[in-house]
Structure 1
Amino acid sequence: MAGLIEGYRNHIEVERAMSPRTVSSYLRDVEAFLAEAFPGDEDPSTSALQDGKEAVRRHLAGLRRRGCRPATIDRHLAAIRSFFRYLLLTDRIERIPPVVQTSRGGRRRELPHDLSLENVEALLGLPDLDTARGMRDRALLEMVYGLGLRLAEVVGLNLGDLDFPDHRVRVLGKGNRERIMPLDGVARKYLRLYLGQRCGPEAALAVEDGILPGNLRNTPVFFGRGERRIARRTVQAMVARYCRELAGMKGVSPHTLRHAFATHLLDGGAGIRMVQELLGHRNLATTQIYTHLSRSRLREAYDTAHPRAANRKPKKDES
């Protein structure tokens, strides 16, 4: 069993380039499945793996009996699917059991909490710019909203990823996929102010000039306590803390700002494929689920385009 797991680890870690967190979760879930499906069997036969339909069903039923959330069951399913695809790729099985392809944990894909432009501006205006922490928080929030960054992406930014002369920043997203984002406007302004305060004038000037010494290239952009890279939980707690100061801002997270980035782009007339590229989505379907058009924009599009719309203004040749 150890050899099978090690081969699968290499597949998802190297060939699929999954993130360390995903690798850890998938390995844990697959090991739990194999231990339950083939107890005491260190090397399951091809036929046993091929006939894994009932084993998968028992495993999922066991998760439900233990009260696991639908999201947890869906994650187990994703790991098991990935494992069976690896088995197919390496000729350990001839086909993937249909139950692996079609089962669902029952999680509903819900849109994140929506934020209006006024809500976002109120939130971004809360950090106290007279303090070092407030300046850091403002710069970080502006980067998340201004560039639509995931939590892991903004936390993982290094000074070497910033390219001030060319007004861009390198972002390492899911699956170690790299994308180049524009670094302009308000996000650029507050990032410069923060770096000038945090790094000192000499280092900040080197960053802006694009001549950063090699020893500083892997320095985190955003620091937490003890001169260490800021933690994800710190960012989550920071957003929650500011939201408590605003009425009606419950359930807001860093990911909500990423969602607002996308919906505000769409509301401003950006095409969905451009938004897909900016968000770093591999599939357009993900963007279509993740973002939604505002009702006012839908109404405007309908009134403008549909020939039977009540508020449509007729063209000259129609009047």
Structure 2
Amino acid sequence: MLTQTTSRVLEPSDLDAALAVLDRDPVANAFVTARVQVAGLDPWRLGGEMWGWYEDGMLTSLCYAGANLVPICAGPRAVRAFADRARRAGRRCSSIVGPAESTAALWRLLEPHWGPARDIRAHQPLMVTDRMPDGIAPDPYVRRVRKDELETIMPACVAMFTEEVGVSPLAGDGGLLYQARVAELVGSGRAFARLDDQGRVMFKAEIGAATARACQIQGVWVAPEYRGQGLAAPGMAAVLRYALTDVAPVASLYVNDYNTPARRTYQRVGFQEIGAFMSVLF
């Protein structure tokens, strides 16, 4: 038992305490919670370290340090401790992402050492719903992507990622990690799409993180030639039906504040803003 305010890398034996911290905000923490529930705290399985901040011997804050740097339930002192550890370790992540207030504070401390960032998205509304929308029928043609359709869905996933993030997910390792992630979502039944008569993707989305309490929808995309035809809201309603029926009682997502059409679509489907994320992209 630690008896002072300090930070350290958590070990597998710290799992229950870490899950208790994550459970304080099951919606905002869904991404990290889902990874921890599957992989535990072993860095090799988790894909990164989990840092913990202790006050009076109690674990009160976390920071996931993997492909993303994610502060969790982190107040000012915890943020400073995590920034010090991140600065000493050097930048290994491709982004810093998390609740806007703590992420902004973390970036202020790291920017002199890690900056400049490629892009900063300072306000990304976090939206949730726990019910199906009134007046918008789910698109009956949106369905789960089959395992033998991975090659069909992959170009749409790459296009969405490149459009959203500004770089191709195929860079670096040739896309091996990204393709493995898409294959994982397809294999677990959490990738959804509507195809046209030629077998091309018209609309797609995935449930990227899932716990017993909340899930997170991501990768929402309409093919450019089908935009403006009213596919997005019924498509989202279809994905939401799968999410609420088969996955978790609450569905969430976060969106760039400047993406007015997407925000309007999510509001039509019943999502309500409850907070904000921030992303710093390298």
Bigger proportion of residues as strand: 2
- The TM-score with structure 2 as length reference comes to 0.32
Bigger proportion of residues as helix: 1
- Whose radius of gyration is greater, 1 or 2? 1
More relative contact order, 1 or 2 (CA 8 Å, 6+ apart): 2
